[in-house]
Amino acid sequence: MSDQKSLQEEIVEVCLRRGIIFPTAEIYGGVAGFYEFGPVGQTLRLQLINLWRQHFIQSEENIVEIFGSTILPEKVFEASGHIEGFSDPLTQCDKCKSMYRADHLLENHDTETINFDVLTLQMLDTRINELKIRCPSCGGNLLPTKKFNLMFETTIGPSSDKKGYLRPETAQNIFINFKRIANFLRDKLPFGVAQIGKAYRNEISPRNFLVRMREFEQMEIEMFVNPDEINEHPSWDEISDLEINILTRENQLKKQKFKRMTVQKALDDNIIPNQYFGYYLALESEFIEMLGVETSQFWFRHLLEDETAHYSKANFDLEVQFPFGVVECVGNAYRTDYDLKKHQEYSKANLFVVTPEGKKIVPHVIEPSFGVTRLIYIILLNAYQNKSRDWTWFKFPNVLAPYEVLVAPLMKKDGLKEEAYNFFWELKDEGIDVIYDESGKIGKRYARADEVGVLYCITIDYQSLEDETVTIRDRDTTIQYRIPTDATAQVVKELVLGLISFEDLQQEFEEINAGDTKGVEKRKVETNKTQQNTKKGRSKKKQNKKSS
């Protein structure tokens, strides 16, 4: 990191230059709290979502996914309590009229208060007066703090008498569709409903790039469980010995660090409310590590009583140590039957299931709620490398890398370009995430690939035309080996999955690297016939077009 710039500024700049994240409406000056994914960022986002789906949905037998509307009628939020309670404390300067989130303002001045979230409006005003805090813009007097509801309000239809709101969480669609989904699943508890989608909060002071935004994306699961069976998770034994970091309420009051303990111990000591809850903390812990976050860099914080949301019996936030502070990336709530009962009351719909014994049950809900942009930000920060080379680069974990392979001809002449371009299509047909680059010196192209975290660079050179071998370069070490052209797809697949290491290639293709091309016959690609049949036509057409 350069001396003048903070790491955050550096990352923002890199994101702009490399097609990762752009400010919304940038050509019109941008708008605070809104960002968009560029080509590389969108690929990274999709990788993250795929990994999340694999880890939390596809590996379970009873979780379904829905995709709901983002504007919902007022009644939904009357029932959920968001109209009444979804607000932050706002103070305004009586001179220049600038507005501030009172607790954030206080955070910059108050070294005594431990938890600003729990302060009432009156307590905030008292502390602001005690510390003589003035308007940071003009030094003016700050007016008494009031509640500001964070939901974006809109009207539905031309008559403008029907109010609607942009949803502040994806969860509500799941609760209001509960009856239909439960019917579809034949009322068989337990079942989970997941949703990935946009949420909107009119934050008073959006900040820290992707951390506090006004439009962002969530990945949420509402797990519906018979409350009598909440301690009978069928896969409990598989995760109960897994160790997780927990910052208990006691640790917080004594200003201690988190403790590492098994999920079983957390349950036995009544730190976590039940097995279903513990199951998700275990899965999340595994998931966050897959994103490249070190075990010591994150923990589950048991929210204090005053901080716990109105709808929840227990909340554990997965907090991550960012370079500039601690950020909640996943919220875990034991929502009990609060939401279904509220919607039942307001809509008069029957939101229960009937057990095979004929018992009517309003299920309890365990909710893990992930913020996509905050996770993307920690992935970027952890993968960012600004010391080891003349260029900055991203060391993304294999599962997240936006591209697996770059194919590059050494030169554009002597048939190398055509050979490389055809090879690029062959790898694409094999299902590899591959990009092609023929412009500039080869070293520059390697650097460009590193800059967006491409795992391997494959170069077609003069020797490739003679002996059907290519060079493969490893992003993390920059080491290169020669491997047979027709084994490349298989090698890349094995490398990406971690079935072999890059160093293994040296031994396996020893003869080739020593100049003996007999080794070319050593490994044959196991082609996937179906994939070949369906994709060959497209590939051939493209190859012909380029070389004609």
In the complex, which residues of this chain contact ligand GAP (CB under 6 A)?
A: 169, 171, 201, 203, 212-213, 216, 218, 220, 328-331, 367, 369, 371, 373-374
Distances 111 to 116, 120, 131, 207, 534 between C-alpha atoms, Å: 11, 18, 10, 21, 64
Q: Name the H helices within 240-371.
A: 249-253, 263-268, 275-290, 338-347
Distances 400 to 64, 131, 211 between C-alpha atoms, Å: 24, 46, 20
DSSP symbols for 189-229 = SSEEEEEEEEEE---SS-BTTTTB-SEEEEEEEEEEE-GGG
* Minimum distance from residue 288 beta carbon to ligand GAP (Å): 12
Q: Between 370 and 456, name the residue whose CB sits nearer to ligand GAP.
A: 370
Q: Between 328 and 486, name the residue whose CB sits nearer to ligand GAP.
A: 328
* Minimum distance from residue 87 beta carbon to ligand GAP (Å): 13
Helix (H) or strand (E) holding 469: strand 469-474
* Minimum distance from residue 333 beta carbon to ligand GAP (Å): 6
Q: Between 102 and 457, name the residue whose CB sits nearer to ligand GAP.
A: 102
Cβ(159)–Cβ(153) under 8 Å?
no
Q: Virtual CA dihedral for 47, 50, 56, 57, nearest 10 degrees?
A: 170
56: β partners: none
Q: Between 164 and 331, name the residue whose CB sits nearer to ligand GAP.
A: 331
* Minimum distance from residue 377 beta carbon to ligand GAP (Å): 9
Cα angle, residue 370 at apex, residues 150 and 262 outer, rounded to 5°: 130
Specify the pairing of strand 456-460 against strand 469-474.
antiparallel
Identify the sign of the CA torsion 164, 165, 170, 171. Answer: negative
* Minimum distance from residue 284 beta carbon to ligand GAP (Å): 11
Nearest to 330 by CA among 279, 296, 280: 280
In whole angstroms, give the CA distance from residue 461 to residue 409: 6
Nearest to 216 by CA among 448, 55, 37: 37
Q: Between 276 and 425, name the residue whose CB sits nearer to ligand GAP.
A: 276
DSSP secondary structure code for residue 68 in this structure: -
Q: Between 65 and 203, name the residue whose CB sits nearer to ligand GAP.
A: 203
* Minimum distance from residue 209 beta carbon to ligand GAP (Å): 10
Residue whose C-beta lies closest to ligand GAP: 371
* Minimum distance from residue 222 beta carbon to ligand GAP (Å): 9
167: β partners: none
Nearest to 248 by CA among 339, 314, 322, 292: 314
Q: Between 331 and 402, name the residue whose CB sits nearer to ligand GAP.
A: 331
* Minimum distance from residue 338 beta carbon to ligand GAP (Å): 12
Cβ(364)–Cβ(229) under 8 Å?
no
Q: Between 269 and 307, name the residue whose CB sits nearer to ligand GAP.
A: 307
> What tokens were used for 146?
């009031």
Cβ(101)–Cβ(89) under 8 Å?
yes
Q: Between 196 and 457, name the residue whose CB sits nearer to ligand GAP.
A: 196
Can you say whether residue 238 is alpha, beta or left, with left for phi > 0 and alpha for psi between -120 and 50 degrees?
alpha
Q: Between 110 and 220, name the residue whose CB sits nearer to ligand GAP.
A: 220
* Minimum distance from residue 174 beta carbon to ligand GAP (Å): 9
> What tokens were used for 480?
């290169």
Q: Residue type for 148, please?
A: F
* Minimum distance from residue 136 beta carbon to ligand GAP (Å): 21
* Minimum distance from residue 171 beta carbon to ligand GAP (Å): 4
* Minimum distance from residue 304 beta carbon to ligand GAP (Å): 15
Q: Find the largest Cα–Cα distance for the chain.
A: 82
Q: Between 117 and 250, name the residue whose CB sits nearer to ligand GAP.
A: 117
